[in-house]
Amino acid sequence: MLKNYTLFCVLLFSLVCVLSCNDDDLPEPAPILITEQVDSLATIVLKVSNIMDAEGNMNIALYDNKDTWDVDVDNQLTENEHAFAYPEISSLEDLEVTFDDIEPGVYAFSIFHDVDSSGEINISGSIIPLPREPYGFSNNFVPVLSSPDWSDCTFEVNYFDSLELEIQLIEGF
């Protein structure tokens, strides 16, 4: 009999607790999150315009730091580890190249149209070397008698960015 009485008391106590409790006393349930995996890296769509010759390759280099920019640009290097694309040119239409999964940071483009497909930009002049093939830089920077500085051509990339940039080729000398 004592056993039944104890069980009755426990049930009665539980019932009183439940009935006396209001919604404000209850803890907030944890939200259920249903998420899709979102790619947080950036995309850059580069449009190259003012193509003057329908042959050769477009050498496109994307740099992520000043040190490699200075070495490559000052020495007119064309074969570098930072080059992302060498698309073939077959028309005078604007060229569009997409760079996916770009980490946040500061970047700069350096490009030239290798019209004769020699693998390097043709240079004329010994005192002041001038490119003979079309070339261009991000921000459409036009250098005057020197290589461009890193700061002249840089742009910032953030998470989730989808940038559309255009570089107009400059005619070689």
pLDDT at 9: 43
Does residue 6 register a pLDDT over 70? no
pLDDT at 95 over 80: yes
- Whether this model's pTM surpasses 0.85: no
Distances (CA, A) of 120 to 105, 113, 114, 125, 163: 28, 9, 7, 16, 28
In the chain, the amino acid numbered 14 is S
Task: Read off the pLDDT of residues 120-166 as tens digits, 9 standing for 90 and up.
Answer: 888 887 787 888 999 999 999 999 878 899 999 999 999 999 999 99
The 10 Å CB-count burial string (b at 16+, else e) for 87-101 is eebeeeeebebebee
Instruction: Read off the pLDDT of residues 50-90 as tens digits, 9 standing for 90 and up.
Output: 999 999 999 888 988 888 887 766 555 555 445 566 788 88
Region for 85 from its dihedrals, namely left if φ exceeds 0, alpha if ψ lies in -120 to 50, beta otherwise:
beta
Reply yes or no on whether the pLDDT at 119 is more than 80: yes
